[in-house]
């Protein structure tokens, strides 16, 4: 189980980092046709505006770890079976 909490206090959980990112994408109420790769790439600009920091990633796991690194999320639990 992967569990993160975003700065607004919302908790996202999933069996994988991909499921957590999918939860983040759905929470943003983006078009259902948009996949998590598009969502993650779209977040690069928003995170730069919010934090002044750049993020770099190639996978959902790296994306979540970057959110934690720049301070927009906290990793609460990480246990992959």
Question: For every one of its 81 residues, what pLDDT tens digit does the chain have, with 9 covering 90 and above?
Answer: 999 999 999 999 999 999 999 999 988 876 666 788 888 998 998 899 989 999 999 999 999 999 999 999 999 999 876
pTM of the model: 0.89
Domain locations along the chain: 2-78
In angstroms, the CA 80 to CA 20 distance is: 13
- The residue written with tokens 């790439």 in the block is 41
Helix, strand, or coil (residue 20): helix
């Amino acid at each position: 189980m992967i569990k993160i909490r975003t700065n607004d206090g919302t908790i996202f959980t999933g069996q994988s980092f991909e499921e957590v990112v999918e939860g983040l994408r759905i929470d943003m109420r983006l078009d259902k046709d948009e996949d998590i790769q598009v969502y993650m790439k779209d977040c690069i600009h928003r995170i730069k505006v919010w934090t002044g920091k750049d993020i770099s990633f190639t996978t959902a796991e790296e994306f979540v770890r970057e959110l934690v690194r720049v301070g927009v999320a906290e990793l609460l639990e990480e246990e992959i079976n």
